Amino acid sequence: MSRIILHVDMDYFYAAIEEHEDPSLKGKAVVVCMYSNRGEEGGAVSTCNYAARDAGIHSAMPCRLAKAVKPDAVFLPVRKPFYSEVSDMIMEIIRSYADNDGELFEKLGIDEAFLEVTTTSGGDLDKAQQIAQSIKDDVKELEGLTCSVGIGPNKIIAKMASSRQKPDGITVIREDEVDGFLRKMPVAKLWGIGKVTEEKLAGMGIDIVEDLAGRDVQELISVFGKIRGTWLKMAASGIDDDPVKEKTSSDQIGRMASLTHDTRKSDLVLSLLDELLDDVFSKVTARSVSFRSITVTVIYSNFKTVTKSHTLNHPMAEKALLREVSYQIMGELLDSSTVNIRRIGVRVGNLHENKGQKTLAEFF
């Protein structure tokens, strides 16, 4: 049975989060900037939505130039900690669909991940497409964001397929379609090829993937070395045996959700917190891990984000303790502000695999 790999790629992630948090931004060109120590006149564009891209703005463009291109765009500073919080929630959604109880999952970055669904789908691409749609639906329902999914027989094909129908699309490349998918593609589009490699290939008269696939592997090895040359030949032929596997183990589990309306009423806030705690602890149990840190995040109606954490003396896996600490942190956050709350999140971190760890009762 051939492998079935999904690549899930969030659509214009940072800007999409800002749009979701502030609905008044919808329809406007939104640019998220990484400002330098020179303030808003320095720095570069981190990402932007499609309205800004249509105006000619792109990632890495100097912020000053972006403002000249589209003066009426909305320019916002990067809020990396908050984006990371949202990413953590989304990655847990994606992981929950991966084979082997979430083990065949690989986070590539803050906004993209691979997962294998060969077993779950039974090798059926139609079922794999249903899984992709379920992931998209869950991300949209729980986080209000869209993503694009590529489905293919390996990581290279799935990764490139996810860009085929952006935003909010699903692209399936069957095994017998791989050659046609790759053949006329510029080599620069082949995942894993950077600027230096592209220039070397151009010097060899190789401009499209078909040219690269047709070259003798020994010629490629003589220019790029054995490992890189062999990889180029295989990648251009659509061959990739690299397993879906996390480079480092995920070190946190979390959930975030919006209240039905902005409020400071503790009963409503704690009721939603209980739902999030149940979900987080179920994932802790499913992964057989314990945790040392507990973090609660609050996003107020004015979009101010506050995060507060507590570190335990020992790794624990007790729901009662998780609830007690989370309630305490939330109480402090409620008491510290008179502004209504829009959205809350909870996560556990510093995870440890359970190897006969002591229970709460045994410590005391």
Percent of the chain residues past pLDDT 70, beyond the cut: 95
Residues 57 and 68 in one domain: yes
Is 244 a member of any domain?
Answer: no
Which DSSP category does 357 fall into?
A: P
Strand intervals (E) in 220-339: 252-263, 289-300, 305-316
DSSP, res 24: G
Write out pLDDT tens, residues 187-225.
999 999 999 999 999 999 999 999 999 999 999 999 999
Residues near 325 by beta carbon (within 8 Å), at least 6 away in sequence: 294, 310, 312
Tell me the residue ranges of DSSP E strands in 78-146.
Answer: 105-109, 112-116
Identify the segments of the chain with pLDDT beneath 70. 38-41, 248-250, 355-364
Q: Are strands 74-77 and 30-36 parallel, antiparallel or unpaired?
A: parallel
CATH number at residue 223: 1.10.150.20
| Domain containing residue 197 | 183-236
Confirm whether 75 is domain-assigned. Answer: yes
112 carries an active-site annotation: yes
Are the C-beta atoms of 254 and 281 separated by less than 8 Å? Answer: no
> Per the domain annotation, does 246 fall within a domain?
no
Of the candidates 112, 116, 143, 318, the residue annotated as catalytic is 112
For the chain, the domain total comes to 4
Dihedral sign of CA atoms 33, 39, 40, 44 in order? negative
pLDDT at 88: 86
Q: Are residues 284 and 328 in the same domain?
A: yes
pLDDT of 18-68, one tens digit each? 999 999 999 999 999 998 776 666 799 999 999 999 999 999 999 999 999
Residue 131's CATH number: 3.30.70.270
